[in-house]
Chain A
């Protein structure tokens, strides 16, 4: 308390980015992860992931369609969205936001085409089976290519491969750019590190895997005709998750050790921040949300689905908290005014808890629609058939 400086008078400045932004980061990150996992099968041809590749791709798609709503909602003048496209191009090289938005547009289109290629045969078949409306719809979805010949299927496959291959860097870029947005802000001691895109990617893989661990078994059990969970797959994902956690921890270790020890004078503000937030960060973000899933993935616990689901849940939540701690926490560090800020999201209105929940609602609605439209369960069952065949 014998502080060398006692404050008499100052002001506290409000910061621009609220709850929408960590949510946005979480969505794009999880999308990237889902895309990468789908690419395990589509691009790298890892058979093990074949049955979930389709659904993962679809999840990557919906997450990314829902994500930008966060951004738009965070804008104070969302009605001026055109201005983004019309003006300010001279800042293209220096504003990650400028190119980030372009990536944001390109990426879901790409996924959509990849999914279309993947599911085209199913659409063709569906179109044949369906009634009048369904027929029109599915025919449209085939993009007019109703050919089911092996050559055509091979072309689909190739197209899927090519798009997937392009998609991988794009997915990395889409999420990496969000890290870039923060990392480029040299004004913020917490954000300003070239590692930020990679840290974001690593934690994105964690959250995305966590999310799939929750969603896929749910879809399998309740929404597909298979009616049962592929527990082996769950275990596989648990281990995958654990490896991603390792990568995440390594990145965070590098980040924190550097910025807390070797950074310039500004690191003292970071000291103060972690002194204030030591317990909550350590206990929740690290111990509960990372170390526990890590242990699950590397031990026999991964064979107990419920435990894995729990692990998936805490990592998904944990990464959300990490995004929050980074975006909000980073903004609470004062720059030229004394004392840390406090941010409590408003309950309603723009950039509020309600708007974040609305975003989750949009996601769920989109999931429902995509599950309805895309014949993912048929494709999955086919894969399992193939896989089980292959095994025997």
Chain B
């Protein structure tokens, strides 16, 4: 194909897409206060009526096995080097008074999310059932929500080039199933459910045990609750350095890693 051709097709697609975009926007209520999907009351955007989904992390039941991390990446096709959830593992104290500490982390689906109100396109929002989601067809990739999240729980999805994060596996929850990490949690630390249902396990745990949330002072009112969370585990900036980053950089493999992992994912 000649240069000429590609240029012309470039122009054509350009014109076409401009036209389409204008068309689409004029059709799907231009100047939406929210976004078209929400205006259309699409079930994926509205969530499940009358429910309010939360997660309880019973740390007594966590063995830091990273099964959750692993399944989340597979279930959600999270690009290589990116994570919707991870379990930080540290050792607290000085020998011999040392304890292991695990902190499974994911989006807190905050009742008062810091990420949502700053979004200039309305791409991210909280569904009526409490799940905070991102519409990857609207997001223009400004990164404001990522900066705003006090929990570092958002990232730019390398593939879609839009903000991404845990969405409580809405694709499963909307079909009546459990989020993948909850299904696979070995210790049973991850408990998920509708807090409006008084018989749910989450309701039972919240009623019977004192729980904490991460960074309460941020005022975000997280909907991921921890049982037996030790204070020290939430202050991680003073731990020893994460050598993985250094090793990756020093061994100059970062690129190769991307390649291999992306292949694996594509193949998988």
A interface, CB within 8 angstroms of B: 2-17, 71, 74-91, 94-98, 101, 181, 184-188, 264-266, 268-269, 272, 331, 333-340, 342
**Beta-carbon contact of B219 and A5 below 8 Å:** no
- Chain B residue at minimal CB-CB distance from A269: B237
- Interface size of B by CB at 8 A reads 72
* Given A7-B241, A94-B118, CB of A86 within 8 Å of CB of B147: no
Per-position 1/0 for B122-156, Cβ under 8 A of A: 11000000000000001111111011111111011
Decide if A3 touches B239 in the complex (CB within 8 Å).
yes
The reply to whether A11 and B122 contact each other, CB–CB distance below 8 Å, is: no
CB < 8 Å neighbour of B147 from A78, A79, A331? A331
Distance in Å from the Cβ of A298 to the closest Cβ of chain B? 38
Residue in B91, B117, B161 whose beta carbon sits within 8 Å of that of A94 in the complex: B117
What CA separation (Å) do A379 and B117 show in the bound complex?
47
Which B residues lie at the A interface, using CB under 8 A? 17, 21-22, 25, 30-36, 64, 66, 82-83, 86-94, 101, 103, 105, 114, 116-123, 138-144, 146-153, 155-156, 161-162, 214-215, 217-219, 232, 234-242, 244-245
- Give which listed residue, B30, B92, B143, contacts A5 with CB less than 8 A: B92
**Nearest residue, chain A, Cβ from B30:** A86
Chain B binding surface, main DSSP class: loop
Report chain A residues within 8 Å CB of B241. 7, 339
The answer to whether B120 and A98 have CB atoms under 8 Å apart is yes
**Please, how many angstroms separate the alpha-carbon atoms of A86 and B87 in the complex?**
39
Asked if residues B237 and A10 are in contact (CB atoms below 8 Å), the reply is no
Q: Inside 8 A of A84's CB, which chain B residues have their CB?
A: 120-121, 140
Interface of A: prevailing SS: loop
Check A5 against B239 for contact (C-beta < 8 Å): yes
Find chain B residues with CB under 8 A from A11 CB.
83, 86, 242, 244
Judging by beta carbons under 8 Å apart, are B123 and A83 in contact? yes
Which 9 A-B pairs have CB atoms at the shortest separation, nearest pair first?
Answer: A76-B141, A16-B143, A88-B122, A187-B150, A94-B117, A338-B236, A338-B239, A80-B140, A77-B141
Identify 19 residue pairs between A and B in the complex whose beta-carbon atoms are under 8 Å apart, listed by A's number. A2-B94, A3-B238, A7-B236, A15-B146, A76-B140, A88-B34, A88-B121, A88-B138, A89-B33, A90-B34, A95-B117, A185-B147, A186-B114, A187-B148, A187-B151, A272-B238, A336-B214, A338-B88, A338-B236
A259 to chain B, nearest CB (A): 14
Measured between C-beta atoms, what is the minimum distance from B10 to chain A in Å?
13
Rounded to whole Å, the gap between the CB of A61 and the closest CB of chain B is 25
Complexed CA–CA distance, A81 and B147 (Å): 20
Establish whether residues B31 and A76, one from each chain, have CB atoms under 8 Å apart when the complex forms.
no
| Most A CB within 10 A of own CB, among B64, B88, B122, B147 | B147
